[in-house]
Amino acid sequence: MWDPKYITLEMSENVGIVAFSNPPYNLFNLQALEELQWTFRKLDADNECRAIVLAA
């Protein structure tokens, strides 16, 4: 089971909302990049997703 620490994904109609959170400075590390990669692959495979919003 995938349990992300830094990335959250929500779907609002056909829009994927990807939020990154690594307080206090929101720095990327290897785990965060792997989570982001997994998230983008999941959204790419979702035929209902038409847009992606990135947030921090």
pLDDT at residue 46 is higher than 80: yes
pLDDT band at 3 (very low <50, low <70, confident <90, very high): confident
Residue 34 inside a domain? The answer is yes
Decide if 1 is inside a domain. no
Number of domains the chain is built from: 1
Q: What is the pTM of this model?
A: 0.86
Long-range interactions of 46-51: CB distance < 8 A, separation 24+: 46/16, 48/11, 48/14, 49/11, 49/14, 49/15, 49/16, 50/14, 50/15, 51/14, 51/15, 51/16
pLDDT at residue 44 is higher than 80 = yes
Residue 1 has pLDDT above 80, yes or no: no
The answer to whether position 40 is within a domain reads yes
Q: Is residue 44 part of a domain?
A: yes
